[in-house]
């Protein structure tokens, strides 16, 4: 995702390319999230590390918007494949929710601003994402927005990009 929405400026960014998003997973017996969610979380971690400290200190006013056409497809597929032969763990259902792509980074960083997943390719959904972000910033729902784009490239490889944004006229 290289589209910077109009009226915003970039405070930090990161891109992570994963041959296997599962390599970024940190699942535990009592907590499960789709591998793509862990890839998003890793990318957000790197983007926040790249920007000014005040964004981390402003979690109450930081939103996250994730754009992905594939979402938590891997876990949904695994659940569907396991149904005929075994019992399905309830943790898998929560971890398969596409919203986990935005929810996991929000939980890890204590973000209290709006969170949203847009289903679509990041490039195609850029105008919608820009409209949502402009509204959040304009109406005071957030001072900072983490804009994340996740898309499949070849095979199982996925590319995840995160921009840490603020309003163009913001004082920091």
d(C-alpha 32, C-alpha 15), whole Å: 23
pTM: 0.83
Q: Please name the residue that has the structure tokens 């929000």.
A: 106
Q: What SS3 state is found at 137?
A: helix
Q: How far apart are CA 71 and CA 58, in angstroms?
A: 27
Per the CB < 8 A criterion, the answer to whether 46 and 16 are in contact is yes
Residue of 71 and 148 predicted with greater confidence: 148
SS3 assignment, position 88: coil
pLDDT in tens, 56-90: 888 999 999 999 987 656 555 555 555 566 666 65
Domain residue limits, the chain: 8-167
pLDDT at residue 47 in the model:
96
Task: Looking at mean pLDDT, say which of 7-21, 91-105, 125-139 comes out highest.
Answer: 125-139
Q: What is the pLDDT of residues 9-34, one digit of tens each?
A: 999 999 999 887 667 666 555 556 77
Of 1.10.3720.10, 3.40.47.10, 3.40.50.150, 3.40.50.450, the CATH number of 8-167 is 3.40.47.10
Quickly tell me which residue has 């996925």 as its tokens.
Answer: 158
Top pLDDT among 2 and 172 is at 2
Say if residues 104 and 40 touch (Cβ distance below 8 Å).
yes
């Amino acid at each position: 995702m290289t589209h910077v929405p109009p009226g915003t400026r970039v405070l930090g960014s990161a891109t992570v390319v994963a041959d296997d998003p599962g390599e970024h997973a940190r699942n535990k017996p009592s907590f499960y999230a789709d591998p793509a969610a862990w890839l998003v979380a890793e990318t957000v971690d790197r983007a926040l590390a790249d920007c000014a400290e005040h964004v981390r200190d402003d979690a109450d006013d930081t939103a996250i918007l994730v754009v992905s056409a594939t979402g938590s497809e891997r876990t949904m597929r695994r659940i569907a494949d396991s149904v005929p032969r075994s019992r399905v763990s309830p943790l898998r259902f929560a971890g398969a929710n596409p919203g986990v792509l935005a929810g996991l980074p929000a939980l890890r960083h204590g973000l209290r601003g709006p969170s949203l997943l847009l289903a679509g390719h990041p490039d195609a959904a850029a105008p919608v994402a820009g409209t949502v972000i402009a509204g959040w910033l304009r109406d005071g729902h957030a001072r900072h927005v983490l804009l994340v784009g996740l898309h499949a490239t070849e095979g199982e490889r996925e590319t995840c990009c995160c921009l840490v944004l603020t309003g163009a006229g913001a004082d920091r």
